[in-house]
Each structure stands twice: as structure tokens, then as C-alpha cells.
């Protein structure tokens, strides 16, 4: 089962990065806000990473995902991409990661105690 989450993590990561650097990404149904899209992407990545790599510390996962978010914002500064880099996007990414890793840790601990 762990391998499914790992594959899901890497597929989601590639998808998120591609969508973040496309000059004209497709419109999503309902036209969710940019911050919502960031939070959804990074919440998904955080949960998949926590489930796929349970032996990796949550701090390392959080650090890696926050660095990914920062990297995306730096790449979006490239004029050719016609994207807007906003550091508040990084804040949204970071908040989503911290909330979801906290919830994943609590859920995994509760599951272990129940066994």
C-alpha cells in the first residue's frame, strides 16, 4: 500500500509543478482561487508524502515541500512564463503542509494505538 502512496506522491508532484509553470494553465471548474489551488496541491502532497514515507520525519517532509513551494515561486518570476510569483502563495503552501502533516501524524498515531 505504501508504494501506491509513493507513486501518487510523485505523480502529484509532477502534476503540481507542471501546472505551476505552464504559461497559460487550463481553467479549473468553478474557477477556484489561486490560494485555494495552492493549498489543495500542497495538502495533497503532504498527505501522500506522510503515507508513502512514514519513516521520514515530518520536519523533513515539511521542509522539502516548503522548499518546493519557494522554488515554484522563483520559477514563476521568469518573464517568459507570464506567471505571477506571490510570496503569499508560499504562505498558503506552508500552512496547508503544516496542517495536513499535523493531522496525518495524529491519525497515524491514533491508528497505531488502536492496534
pTM of the model: 0.91
Domain count, the chain: 1
Label residues 102-112 b or e (16+ Cβ within 10 Å = b): eebeeeeeeee
In a domain, 27, yes or no: no
pLDDT value at residue 31: 86
3-state secondary structure at position 102: helix
Residues whose CB falls within 8 Å of the CB of residue 82, separated by 6 or more in sequence, listed in order: 23, 24
In a domain, 108, yes or no: yes
In a domain, 91, yes or no: yes
pLDDT value at residue 46: 98
pLDDT value at residue 111: 83
pLDDT value at residue 25: 83
Sign, CA torsion 45/47/48/49? positive
Low-confidence ranges of the chain (pLDDT < 70): none
Domain encompassing residue 106: 2-19+34-114
Alpha-carbon span 37 to 19, nearest angstrom:
10
pLDDT value at residue 115: 76
DSSP3 helix / strand / coil % (the chain, rounded to 5): 75, 0, 25
User: Crossing angle, helix 34-52 and helix 58-75, to 10 degrees?
Assistant: 140
In a domain, 28, yes or no: no
**pLDDT digits over 39-72, tens only?**
999 999 999 999 999 999 999 999 999 999 999 9
Would you give the DSSP letter of residue 64? H
pLDDT value at residue 112: 80
Amino acid at each position: 500500500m505504501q508504494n501506491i502512496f509513493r507513486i501518487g506522491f510523485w505523480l502529484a508532484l509532477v502534476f503540481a509543478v507542471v501546472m505551476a509553470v505552464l504559461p497559460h494553465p487550463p481553467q479549473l471548474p468553478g474557477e477556484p482561487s489561486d490560494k485555494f489551488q495552492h493549498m489543495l496541491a500542497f495538502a495533497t502532497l503532504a498527505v501522500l508524502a506522510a503515507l508513502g514515507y512514514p519513516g521520514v520525519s515530518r520536519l523533513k517532509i515539511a521542509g522539502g515541500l516548503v522548499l518546493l513551494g519557494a522554488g515554484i515561486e522563483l520559477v514563476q518570476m521568469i518573464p517568459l512564463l507570464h506567471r505571477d510569483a506571490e510570496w503569499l502563495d508560499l504562505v498558503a503552501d506552508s500552512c496547508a503542509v503544516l496542517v495536513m502533516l499535523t493531522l496525518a501524524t495524529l491519525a497515524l498515531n491514533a491508528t497505531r494505538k488502536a492496534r
